């Protein structure tokens, strides 16, 4: 693995950093307090070419390598995890799934507007009774003429209430087990498709999260993604991409914690001197820095494997597990360093903790990541 960034990678990092500092960070607190969805920010991200990810330019993407993609997620995550979540879903889960599994027509129809953020996408896998156990989904799709009829519901779907298009997973052959699940591209406004926003979240308050409901919702056969029965395979491959985006975003949270704590500890005076001189403060910030470098390198290792076309489920799970848990540690210590001020929204560190916590849950909990790691090491299958 080459630790030297290319000129192109350094350029994209600087571009993403500048955008995050100027276009995202100044509005993060207000959007969080109001629960305001960042429509304008997303539009400008698309215009800036920061939503095209690794999708080739011929389909409207940016054609980036995965290290560059991680840098974008990191810089956005440093400024606002809500925006990063929306971006990760759009780029990692929706665009990549359509590019990897879609027909030529699907790629031409959906990828250009997605990459420009002219439309938003969602990834609808989780159900009320099916979270970590993705293979147990109950939403049904029955063949009818030149299409399928969907019945069922999804929950905790990021961007689900505002997305123009969603990748929805449904059971098409109950007798086929894990090979009886199919992925569908469902457009907003389809008859029988409704949504309900989930409110009262601990964090990611300016990112939309929703329940989706399907009642006799007809989807034409041309909107099947991949082949019938390939749904679970598509979902698991997408999660490898999604977890990568989450991990990179968590690196951004840790970086933000380090930045805030260094600044605050140099200016906060107690017992006649800056608390930066206190060894226990130094210990907490030092641990953050070690976690920051370790998490970033784990993300880059997974990205290098992705760029090499090597299977990276294990390395991506390691990166997601470590980076998400480290982000929670960093944000917890950041609040402690800020004392009572850290417990209020006068400083952003309380938002960092609220936003970091969900990263240990969505796209595979920390416990699921440990099961994946254990399975690879021991050869014992704990789950599908």
**CA–CA gap between residue 101 and residue 182 (Å, rounded):** 12
Q: What ranges in 230-338 are assigned the alpha helix state H?
A: 231-267, 279-307, 313-338
Out of 23, 75, 211, 363, pick the active-site residue.
363
**CA–CA gap between residue 133 and residue 135 (Å, rounded):** 5
Q: What is the 3-state secondary structure (H, E, C) of 331-376?
A: HHHHHHHHHHHHHCCCCCHHHHHHHHHHHHCCCCCHHHHHHHHHHH
**CA–CA gap between residue 326 and residue 341 (Å, rounded):** 22
Strand 121-124 vs strand 165-171: parallel, antiparallel, or unpaired? parallel
Other Cβ atoms less than 10 A from the Cβ of 199: the count is 9
Token pair 């009262």 in the structure block, residue:
200
Task: Give the single-character DSSP code of 255.
Answer: H
3-state secondary structure at position 96: helix
**CA–CA gap between residue 224 and residue 231 (Å, rounded):** 10
Strand 224-225 vs strand 181-187: parallel, antiparallel, or unpaired? antiparallel
- 95: annotated active-site residue: no
**CA–CA gap between residue 103 and residue 194 (Å, rounded):** 26
Catalytic residues: 363
């Amino acid at each position: 693995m080459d630790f030297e960034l290319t000129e192109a990678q350094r350029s994209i990092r600087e571009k993403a950093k500048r955008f995050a500092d100027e276009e995202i960070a100044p509005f993060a607190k207000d959007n969080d307090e109001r629960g305001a969805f960042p429509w304008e920010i997303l539009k400008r991200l698309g215009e800036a070419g920061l939503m095209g990810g690794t999708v080739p330019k011929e389909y409207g993407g940016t054609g980036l390598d995965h290290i560059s993609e991680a840098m974008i997620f990191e810089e956005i995550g440093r400024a606002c995890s809500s925006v990063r979540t929306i971006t990760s879903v759009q780029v990692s889960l929706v665009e990549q799934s359509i590019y990897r599994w879609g027909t030529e027509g699907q790629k031409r129809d959906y990828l250009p507007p997605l990459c420009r953020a002219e439309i938003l996408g969602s990834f609808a896998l989780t159900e009320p009774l099916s979270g970590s156990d993705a293979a147990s989904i109950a939403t049904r799709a029955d063949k009818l003429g030149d299409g399928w009829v969907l019945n069922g519901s999804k929950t905790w779907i990021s961007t689900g209430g505002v997305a123009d298009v969603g990748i929805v997973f449904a059971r098409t052959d109950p007798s086929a087990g894990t090979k009886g699940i199919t992925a569908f591209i469902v457009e907003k406004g389809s008859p029988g498709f409704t949504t309900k926003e989930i409110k009262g979240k601990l964090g990611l308050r300016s990112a939309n999260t929703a329940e989706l409901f399907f009642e006799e919702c007809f989807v034409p056969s041309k909107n099947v993604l991949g082949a019938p029965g390939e749904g679970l395979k598509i979902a698991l491959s997408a999660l490898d991409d999604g977890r990568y985006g989450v991990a990179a975003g968590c690196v951004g949270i840790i970086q933000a914690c380090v930045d805030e704590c260094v600044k605050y500890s140099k200016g906060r005076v107690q017992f006649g001197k800056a608390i930066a001189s206190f060894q226990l403060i130094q210990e907490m910030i030092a641990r953050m820095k070690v976690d920051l470098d370790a998490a970033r390198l784990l993300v880059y290792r997974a990205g290098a494997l992705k760029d090499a076309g090597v299977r990276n489920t294990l390395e991506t799970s390691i990166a997601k597990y470590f980076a998400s848990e480290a982000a929670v540690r960093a944000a917890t210590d950041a609040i402690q360093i800020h004392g009572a001020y850290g417990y209020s929204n006068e400083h952003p560190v309380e938002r960092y903790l609220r936003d970091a916590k969900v990263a240990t849950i969505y796209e595979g909990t920390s416990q699921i990541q440990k099961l994946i790691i254990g399975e690879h090491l021991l050869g014992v299958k704990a789950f599908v």
